[in-house]
Amino acid sequence: MSSKPQESKAGPLSADVKDIIIVNVIALGSMVLFAAMGLSITHVAAGL
C-alpha cells in the first residue's frame, strides 16, 4: 500500500524536474544570448 503513493508522487516529481531543467536551459540560453549581444555591442561601440 505504501509503494503506490510513492509511485504516484514519482510521476509529478519527475515531470517537475523536467520542467525545471527546461526552464534552466532556456534561462541559460537567454543569458548567453544577452551576453553575446552585449559583448558585440560594446565591441562595435569601442570600434567606433
Does the pLDDT at position 3 exceed 70?
Answer: no
**Which residues in 4-42 are b (16+ Cβ under 10 Å) and which e?**
eeeeeeeeeeeeeeeeeeeeeeeeeeeeeeeeeeeeeee
pLDDT at 28: 98
Does the pLDDT at position 6 exceed 60?
Answer: no
Does the pLDDT at position 10 exceed 70?
Answer: no
| 14-30 pLDDT per residue, tens | 889 999 999 999 999 99
Rounded to two decimals, the pTM is 0.56
Which grid cell sits at 26?
532556456
In total, how many domains does the chain have? 1
Structural domain range at position 15: 1-48
pLDDT at 29: 98
